[in-house]
C-alpha cells in the first residue's frame, strides 16, 4: 500500500500523460481539463479522505466538510474505494456543501447552481467526459498503487460465490 507522498508523486507524473492523451483524442481544452481534474482528484479528492491523510490536510480550514464522509464511510470499502461509487459520493458531498452555501447566500440559489451545471453538461459533453476521465483516472491510479484495485467487499462477494458453487 502506497504512502501519501507516493500517491502525490504518481498523481503529478501521470496527470500530464492523461492530459496529453485526452487532448489527442478530444481537443486541447479537454486535455487541460482532464489533467487538472486528474491532479485535483488525486491531490484533493483522494479515496483516503476518510482517514487523516495529506489530501485531507490540503483542505486546511475546510477539512470539516469531510467530517460526514470520515464518520460514515469505512476505509477501503466499496463506498470509499469503489470505482465510480467513491468518486460520485465525494462529488455529491461537495455539491451538498455548495447547496448549503447557496442557502446562506440568497443571491445564488440551488436551482441556479443546478441549472448552470446542467447547461454546462449539455453544451460541453466532451469537457464532461474529460472531467470524468481525469477524476476517475486518479482514483484508479490510487487503487492500483494500493496494490489491490478492488474494494474489500468485492473479495467477500467472490468468497461467497465460491462457497455457494461448492454447495456450502
Q: What is the DSSP string of 91-149?
A: HHHHHHHHHHHHHH-TTS-HHHHHHHHHHHHHH-HHHHHHHHHHHHHHHHHHHHHTT--
DSSP code at position 167: T
How many structural domains does the chain have? 1
User: Per DSSP, which regions of the chain are E strands?
Assistant: none
Residue where the block lists cell 476518510: 50
pLDDT in tens, 147-168: 766 656 566 666 667 777 776 5
User: What CA–CA distance (Å, rounded) separates 148 from 145?
Assistant: 8
What pTM did the predictor assign? Answer: 0.81
Domain of residue 51: give its range.
4-166
pLDDT in tens, 98-138: 888 877 877 878 788 889 889 999 999 999 999 999 999 99
> How many residues are present in the chain?
168
User: What CA–CA distance (Å, rounded) separates 115 from 43?
Assistant: 28
DSSP code at position 45: S
Identify the pLDDT of residue 12: 94
Amino acid at each position: 500500500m502506497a504512502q501519501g507522498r507516493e500517491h502525490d508523486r504518481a498523481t503529478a507524473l501521470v496527470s500530464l500523460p492523461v492530459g496529453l492523451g485526452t487532448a489527442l483524442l478530444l481537443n486541447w481544452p479537454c486535455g487541460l481539463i482532464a489533467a487538472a481534474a486528474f491532479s485535483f482528484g488525486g491531490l484533493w479528492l483522494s479515496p483516503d479522505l476518510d482517514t487523516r491523510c495529506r489530501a485531507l490536510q490540503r483542505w486546511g480550514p475546510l477539512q470539516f466538510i469531510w467530517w460526514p464522509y470520515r464518520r460514515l464511510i469505512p476505509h477501503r470499502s466499496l463506498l470509499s474505494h469503489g470505482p465510480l461509487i467513491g468518486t460520485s459520493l465525494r462529488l455529491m458531498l461537495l455539491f451538498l456543501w455548495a447547496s448549503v452555501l447557496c442557502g446562506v447566500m440568497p443571491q445564488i440559489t440551488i436551482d441556479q447552481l443546478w441549472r448552470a451545471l446542467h447547461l454546462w453538461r449539455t453544451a460541453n459533453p466532451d469537457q464532461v467526459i474529460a472531467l470524468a476521465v481525469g477524476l476517475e483516472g486518479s482514483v484508479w491510479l490510487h487503487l492500483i498503487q494500493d496494490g489491490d484495485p478492488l474494494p474489500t467487499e468485492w473479495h467477500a462477494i467472490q468468497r461467497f460465490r465460491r462457497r455457494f458453487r461448492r454447495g456450502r
